Homo-oligomer: A and B are copies of this chain.
């Protein structure tokens, strides 16, 4: 964008960083960059499978959830096929659906939550091939409890597959995590090392799902698409559960601080199960957009939901104390500037 931000709080990156063991592993791997990575990601898939108590045949790794979503859409959506998602949900998924000629059907949020019942009803109505839900949700940060997701899976109409995007699940309360039989054919879960594990730049995501779907990735994926050092870094990150606990604590502290800043400015926040918090600016989208513009002009990179009424909010990624101090200084100025039209 031609300038540096004083606080990088817009992309839901994990500023607390990856495990020091992952950093060390990637540093050690640098001199071996002349070797291709294992196209089967044997070690990493094995470790992921062990973590989830499933056979590696239920695990596919890829270039982030984005890459896996693109492949999944390619595999399952022919031109004209119906796909269901929420209005204002993850735009990259929509990009893939449009790119392969699918027809998107969107249902509104219910309050600040994705609406499982509405998604299922719409999927039945339009005979959808894919249904997308994120739990926890981006951009709002809210979550549904495991039993809600479990009921949703049981209600998936015949011929449809539910994509359960759990990018932020490692930062959510334990009651957000459903137990899903790996043979369950109605759902594919997406996980990533980009968020809680702090490896956004390494591009490692994975899918957990039925063997029939997981094995189909092999017919379309770029078998040598992933960085060898990323495999190695992700494996080390996965094995460092103490660092994950540290990140969860830092994120919880930052969420509380963002809430404190919001309340101190007469605003409120949407409860978050992620590493970002939506500050409810209390008026309409136009107002929030002007607050956001002022924050950005002051060097605070933040973003916001795309659609009403969620666009009354500004989405702030969890930062370090020094990042949030920049926000704390900028927010009152932004609110004052917007109120006075300056």
| B229 x A201 contact (CB < 8 A) | yes
- Which one of A49-57, A64-72, A258-266, A279-287 contacts B? A64-72
**A210 proximal to B (CB < 8 A):** no
Q: A31-B17, A200-B35, A219-B99 are in contact. Are A227 and B230 (CB under 8 A)?
A: yes
Nearest residue in B to A31 (C-beta to C-beta)?
B23
Other-chain contact of A229, B198, B225, B229 (Cβ < 8 Å): B229
> Least Cβ distance of A29 to chain B in Å?
8
Interface string of A14-25 (1 = CB under 8 A from B): 111110001110
A24: chain B residues at CB < 8 Å are 30
Contact among B16, B35, B37, B229 with A26 in the assembled complex (CB-CB below 8 Å)? B229
CB of A149 within 8 Å of the partner chain = no
**How many interface residues does chain A have, given as a range?**
35 or more
A201 contact set on B, CB distance < 8 A = 29, 32-37, 227-229
CB contact list, A204-242 vs B, under 8 A? 219-220, 222-230, 233
Q: A222-B64, A226-B203, A227-B201 are in contact. Are A34 and B17 (CB under 8 A)?
A: yes
CA distance A100 to B228 in the complex (A): 27
Known: A203-B226, A227-B230, A229-B229. A13 touches B35 (CB 8 A): yes
Q: Is the CB of A200 within 8 A of B33?
A: yes
B33 touches A23 (CB 8 A): yes
A26, A219, A224, most chain B CB atoms within 10 A: A224
User: Quick check: is A27 within 8 A (CB to CB) of the other chain?
Assistant: yes
Kindly list chain B residues whose C-beta atoms are within 8 Å of the C-beta of A84: none
Q: Are A36 and B11 in contact (CB under 8 A)?
A: yes
Query: Are the CB atoms of A33 and B11 closer together than 8 Å?
Result: no
Find residues 69-106 in chain A having any chain B CB closer than 8 Å to their own CB: 70, 92, 99
With beta carbons under 8 angstroms apart, the residue of B30, B31, B225 that contacts A67 is B225
Q: Chain B's nearest CB lies how many Å from the CB of A110?
A: 29
In the complex, residue of chain B having the shortest beta-carbon distance to the beta carbon of A201: B228
Q: Which residue of B lies closest to A25 (CB)?
A: B30
A170 at the interface (CB under 8 A from B): no
Known contacts A16-B34, A70-B222, A99-B219; 11 further A-B pairs (Cβ under 8 A)? A17-B33, A26-B33, A27-B27, A30-B233, A36-B200, A63-B63, A63-B222, A63-B225, A63-B226, A92-B223, A99-B220
- A contact residues vs B (CB 8 Å cutoff): 8, 11, 13-18, 22-24, 26-27, 29-37, 63-64, 66-67, 70, 92, 99, 194, 198-203, 219-220, 222-230, 233
Nearest 6 pairs between A and B by C-beta? Answer: A201-B228, A26-B30, A34-B198, A227-B227, A33-B201, A27-B27
Could you write out 17 A-B pairs with CB less than 8 Å apart?
Answer: A15-B34, A17-B31, A17-B33, A23-B33, A26-B30, A26-B229, A33-B233, A34-B198, A34-B201, A35-B201, A64-B222, A64-B224, A67-B225, A70-B222, A200-B228, A203-B226, A227-B230
